[in-house]
Structure 1
Amino acid sequence: MNSQQKVAIVTGASQGIGAGLVKAFRDRNYHVIANSRSIRPSSDAGVIAVPGDIADHATAERIVAEALSRFGRIDTLVNNAGTFTAKPFTAFTAEDYASNLAVNLTGFFHITQLAIAEMEKQGSGHVVSVTTSLTDHAIDGVPSVLASLTKGGLNAATKSLAIEYAKRGVRVNAVSPGVIKTPMHAPETHGFLSALHPVGRMGEIDDIVNAVLYLDAAGFVTGEILHVDGGQSAGH
């Protein structure tokens, strides 16, 4: 175990942005703890896969325990796991509400609380959450109340935590994407989704990965909600 080599936790790590983040952190010589419900073991000894539902407190405990037992520290937590349900407000079910809160808020709460406790002992660390620009700029035709309720809560929590831990060496930021070209968006939707952005295209996974890496390296930046949304939050 090299206790000087940095360690990142990435949730929602099995595909899309999460998988891109795992690769990017490994390329920068971080050890990585990768979590999702469907995560598979990695052939890379520097990546420890921890399967499980991030909304379950026991999953968060296992993730942190693996980071500490295998690598001895936690430097970065990326709260990437999330769910998005697009329905008219009155069509949401109790199950929709519960599942969105479980993944987007409860999952954030458990893993962030445990990770910050360890970062505070080290006197350093960084938490970054992936939210959405829909919290700042609602779009006609894209019903997003549960996303705004939950991811907007993460934006608010980001600023609150940034101030609470500013003098303790722990930074807290968020990346607020527009629509990113990931497997969750079928190719036939790309034309409609591209038109939602002033730049006329969807974002790429690397756009979000690079934003997370910037924030991770930017020691004087905390409490920032970094919009990576093709101008979406600026207006139309």
Structure 2
Amino acid sequence: MSVLSRAVQLAFVALGLCLFFSNLVAAQPIAGPSLGVSVKAVEGVCRASKPCELEVTVRNTNTKKPATVLTWNTPLDAYADQLGVFEVRDSKGAVVPLDFIQIRRITPPPASDLVEIKAASSVKVKVALETLSRAELPAGTKYTVTATGWWQAVWDQPKQQVVDTHLQELSGAFSGNFNSNSVQVTKMMMMDGPTTGSLPRSQRSTTNYALYVPGLDDAGPKIL
């Protein structure tokens, strides 16, 4: 084979590889959602009668486009605390095991489970950490709490456009992980009645699953 023929053959191979990888990249998201999550303690003392409370801010860092977020399993989810979105660690950095629920979702999601965040804006929600506050843990102990998880679907489009063109198949969305800053809270002794451990076994709650009911939580995020 001549040098010229070999060069032509290699050129066709290179062209084929370029076309293959360009199609591959075009078929997959090449950037994650432009969202940031931060938390601060509104009530830093955790009691059974009055749970510690966080204010969570989700900011759209894109200055030109809105972001529409599917709230499932994110800090904007009405069940975020019960689903384990907020990771709790002790003073040694070990994750504190807590009782969480699992939810069976109905797809496609309702439009009410989408939140639009305008360009360079944010939404804020307050979350009561009832799971931590009711847990049987040593009184007076300090813990750090972080929001961590995965954005299942985020669109850089207005909510109505997502509902009209993407919601049915959840198409055209970005996904990616989120991690907030950490805040410190203190667990106090439960003084409001018998703990779960002191109740007879027949009276203890052993619920592990919750049924998803669209529109159950009427308090939506506050848009800034």
Whether TM exceeds 0.5 here: the answer is no
Q: Rg: which structure is higher?
A: 2
Given the two structures, how large is their TM-score scaled by the length of structure 1?
A: 0.19
Given the two structures, how large is their TM-score scaled by the length of structure 2?
A: 0.20
User: Higher helix fraction: Structure 1 or Structure 2?
Assistant: 1
User: Higher strand fraction: Structure 1 or Structure 2?
Assistant: 2
